[in-house]
């Protein structure tokens, strides 16, 4: 049900080591690297300020001091490539670990937090990625070789997190209302994306990788980010609510709304997006007042999520979204 593809990381690592020594491979070798990293290339070619040509340039020039890409994504990828070259021995140790890993043992645990009959057929593409430790795209996963892969506990938690996204997407793609909305360039489409991101990331964080919200289990930089979010939690929830208010206006500007969504759903430091944290806190609150099966039902019926959250938030004294906005989101469906 779940397999690992390490070929892309192997060929990329060899390419980066050659490039760092000033000897770029021949065109045929470059094409072989691109072919084995097609999943990685297609995923990042969709990002603003990134395309196939700029990705190739970053792969070839990452080690040069004068190379300063304007895109924060490319800057993070270049930094990751430099780390991979410096830490070649650790990269090889990670690859050795992955050759013997059996990710299928993770599947049963993830299915416990998804609706019945969820399909989790997928492939884990091992990448060298300084921007995303892991990501889900088109039913498959990318997982960075730069992570702490040799820690079985962390590896399984991280893969479980991304695999939950695969299962979540399985149902989102079968929801004709959501799919119709996501084809719109409208404020209400952004509002629904925001709500879905909070639910998807919240469930994956709280159920599958709970150590990601525990100070003692994360890096120093990650812990600082968590502390900052905790201190500003009410303000961050207010930003989340403000995005809904902005996006649900009849004359909402799509570009402005989308920019606000990116600010909540992406962390260009590559540590922890605000939306991940808020979503986890929402699921944590809901888990204290609602049966797990009711939370899981929201995967298929997204309109239930905010009303259920507000019910639990009122009981626990957490942030409560404006009721009129919650009703407007429900009306979109």
Q: Would you list the DSSP string of 221-254?
A: HHHHHHHHHHHTHHHHHHHHHHHHHHHTSTT--H
Q: For residue 318, what pLDDT band results from cuts at 50, 70 and 90?
A: very high
Which residues, in sequence order, are bridge partners of residue 137?
Answer: 140
Task: In the chain, count H helices and then E strands.
Answer: 17, 4
pLDDT tens digits, one per residue of 127-159: 999 999 899 899 899 999 998 888 788 888 889
Angle CA 314–263–147, to nearest 5 = 100
* 87 and 127 fall within a common domain: yes
pLDDT tens digits, one per residue of 83-107: 999 999 999 999 999 998 888 888 9
Sign of CA dihedral 299, 304, 305, 308: negative
Count of domains for the chain = 2
* 95 and 193 fall within a common domain: no
pTM: 0.89
Of 109, 144, 167, which marks where a domain is finished? 167
| b/e 2-27 (16+ beta carbons within 10 angstroms → b) | bebbbebbbbbbebbeebbeeeebee
| Of 261, 279, 280, 273, the residue nearest 206 (C-alpha) | 280
* 132 and 183 fall within a common domain: no
Contact call for residues 119 and 110 (beta carbons, < 8 A):
no
Of 121, 144, 167, which marks where a domain is finished? 167
- pLDDT at 222 > cutoff 90: no
Give the residue numbers spanning the domain of 25.
Answer: 2-167
* 121 and 11 fall within a common domain: yes
* 28 and 145 fall within a common domain: yes
* 14 and 150 fall within a common domain: yes
pLDDT tens digits, one per residue of 232-269: 999 999 999 999 999 999 999 999 999 999 999 999 88
Report the chain's C-alpha Rg in angstroms. Answer: 20
Of 128, 147, 167, which marks where a domain is finished? 167
Q: What is the pLDDT of residue 201?
A: 97
């Amino acid at each position: 049900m779940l397999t690992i593809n390490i070929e892309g990381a192997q060929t990329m690592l060899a390419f980066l080591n050659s490039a760092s020594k000033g000897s770029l491979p021949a065109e045929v070798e470059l094409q072989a690297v691109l072919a084995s990293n097609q999943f990685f290339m297609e995923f990042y070619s969709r990002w603003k300020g990134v395309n196939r040509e700029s990705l190739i340039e970053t792969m070839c020039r990452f080690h040069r001091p004068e190379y300063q890409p304007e895109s924060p994504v490319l800057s993070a990828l270049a930094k990751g490539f430099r780390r991979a070259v410096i830490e070649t021995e650790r990269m090889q140790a990670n690859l050795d670990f992955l050759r013997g890993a059996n990710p299928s043992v993770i599947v049963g645990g993830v299915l416990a937090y998804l609706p019945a009959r969820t399909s989790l057929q997928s492939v884990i593409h091992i990448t060298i990625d300084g921007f995303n430790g892991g990501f889900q795209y088109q039913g498959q996963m990318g997982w960075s070789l730069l992570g702490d892969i040799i820690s079985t506990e962390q590896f399984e938690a991280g893969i479980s997190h991304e695999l939950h996204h695969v299962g979540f997407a399985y149902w989102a793609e079968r929801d004709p209302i959501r799919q119709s909305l996501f084809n719109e360039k409208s404020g209400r489409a952004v509002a629904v994306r925001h709500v879905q991101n909070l639910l998807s990331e919240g469930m994956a964080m709280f159920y599958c990788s709970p150590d990601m919200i525990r100070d003692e289990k994360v890096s120093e930089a990650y812990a600082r980010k968590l502390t900052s979010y905790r201190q500003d939690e009410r303000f961050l929830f207010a930003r989340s609510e403000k995005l809904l208010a902005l996006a649900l206006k009849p004359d909402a500007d799509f570009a402005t709304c989308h920019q606000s969504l990116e600010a909540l759903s992406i962390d260009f430091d590559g540590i922890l997006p605000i939306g991940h944290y808020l979503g986890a806190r929402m699921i944590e609150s809901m888990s204290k007042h609602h049966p797990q099966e009711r939370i899981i039902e929201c995967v298929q019926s997204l309109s239930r999520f905010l009303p259920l959250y507000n019910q639990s938030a009122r009981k626990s004294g957490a942030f409560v979204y404006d009721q009129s906005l919650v009703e407007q989101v429900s009306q979109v469906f």
